[in-house]
Structure 1
């Protein structure tokens, strides 16, 4: 069950959609510092210094795991994984999935360790600095950028997912995809009024139709190779048929009903290192068991049958 901290104390409670006419409004990330390679910030890129806290179920955390894998940073940036199902105190650790850095039982303890009177949602991903024992960032978009550029000395420096010449285009695509698709599925699923749901539904599928048309003429969103924009979209698409289509009522079309989007999704999934970041068991158990107001029985569907390994277009 979702909850939040108020002055450092945990409270169970859902988002206040009554204040927004039934529309889900995502709160902004609180911690927004940056790791840099040149010492221009308080956080210098060093191997082993930072730890990434993630949920394998969460699409926002998943994008950081994708970039970590693509950049070859697994050895330099260790990971702690929370249990997939949010219970009485939100994201939790367990003997099977422990907090290796701090030994906490719940993720909210990480937040109050930094700010005892913290108020707000407790979210993943979190980039934790073991040297100063603080949260550098809990904004996935910022963490993706840091992993792409700040740690080049310790990973695949030749790979740049945010090249200078394409940044304006990537930023425009990111903004459109975030507003209408990444967050759009949540606006559908977490809406508490029919008009809010239907508005989000129309915007979501208008955006997916637009992406489908774009991919009919080119292999990826911005370039002939994947960029940051593609990986930010990927983590939503890979969850779509399994959870968003049914659980979030995003049921006009499945991904497999879009010829170009489904081909694109398979091509991204088949990129070396990416399949290992996708844990469908965690994904399905999280969504269907952590939202009792949407799925009160907490029964996890046995389907659908998904195969992202079917042939896709040739990379590069």
Structure 2
């Protein structure tokens, strides 16, 4: 996967991991723009929160095509900065940025910088801190359940969302078989949990449901 290495776009993996920009938002209508990919389950989380709560944050998607990283094209243009590649937005945030140019990206139009590129942190921030400006306020992270929700979100990330990618990129049959068996065992556990309730924490939707849904719906589409 191509990367930014001190602001330079390179085709190898000399920079190992994505660099997460800590989430820091000021609750203010029309201040932020959310860049997502309609193909990415990680970006889907934050978009679900924005759409469900009716938050005053504009949203657009990069192209579903990836040529040298996420791109914008005639069908999926950049309405804010008019860039052609997502990595150019990272370069505008920090000219010598090193790391993968990933989605989601929450762009601060006032400060002209990235306010977050961490899908889990961003979804939690939007779900907990933005209720006062939501058109459709709903408590997605009730205080008595907050620690349990965060813990389950981590589990869903590791055992469901990330596991699909691990299976897809397996390089030998033995690892593939092991991971696939683990994945379907975890799905079976979730199925038992949902047998007698519509949502992961009972009869009210929570943020954890927004962590599970993006992976499940992609199974339906595929």
Q: TM-score, normalised by structure 2?
A: 0.92
- In structure 2, the CA distance between the partners of 1:233 and 1:50, relative to structure 1 (3 Å rule), is same
Secondary structure of 2:110's partner?
coil
Match of 2:8 in 1: 9
Note the residue ranges of structure 1 that are not aligned, 5 or more in a row.
17-25, 36-43, 244-316
1:71 maps to 2:53: yes
Distance 1:14 1:239 in 2: 28
Query: Which whole-Å CA distance do the structure 1 matches of 2:218 and 2:102 have between them?
Result: 19
The answer to whether 1:48 aligns with 2:38 is no
Matched ranges for 1:267-278 at <5 A? none
Instruction: Give unmatched runs, 5+ long, in structure 2.
Output: none
Q: 1:181 to 1:136 in 2, by over 3 A?
A: same
* Residue of structure 1 equivalent to 2:184: 205
**Distance in 1 between the 2:205 and 2:14 partners?**
34
User: For 1:1-316, what aligned pairs fall within 5 Å after superposition?
Assistant: 2-13=1-12, 27=17, 29-35=19-25, 44-73=26-55, 76-87=56-67, 89-156=68-135, 158-243=137-222
Contact 1:71-1:147 within 8 A present in 2 as well: no
Alignment deviations for residues 254-288 of structure 1 (CA, whole Å, 9 cap, x no partner): xxxxxxxxxxxxxxxxxxxxxxxxxxxxxxxxxxx
Q: Write the deviation string for residues 20-74 of structure 1: whole angstroms up to 9, x where unpaired.
A: xxxxxx9454201321xxxxxxxx211111110111111111111111111112x
In the alignment, the residues of structure 2 paired with residue 54 and residue 132 of structure 1 have an alpha-carbon distance, to the nearest angstrom, of 20
Quick one: distance in 2 between partners of 1:71 and 1:195? 43
Asked if the contact 2:23/2:122 (under 8 Å) is kept, the reply is no
1:155-188, Cα deviation, whole Å (9 max, x unpaired): 1464011110111221232222111111110110
Q: Distance in 2 between matches of 1:107 and 1:198?
A: 35
Distance 2:151 2:130 in 1: 25
User: How many residues were matched structurally?
Assistant: 222
Equivalent-residue separation in structure 2 for 1:96 and 1:187 (angstroms): 30
SS in 1 for 2:106: strand
C-alpha separation in 1, matches of 2:31 and 2:154: 31
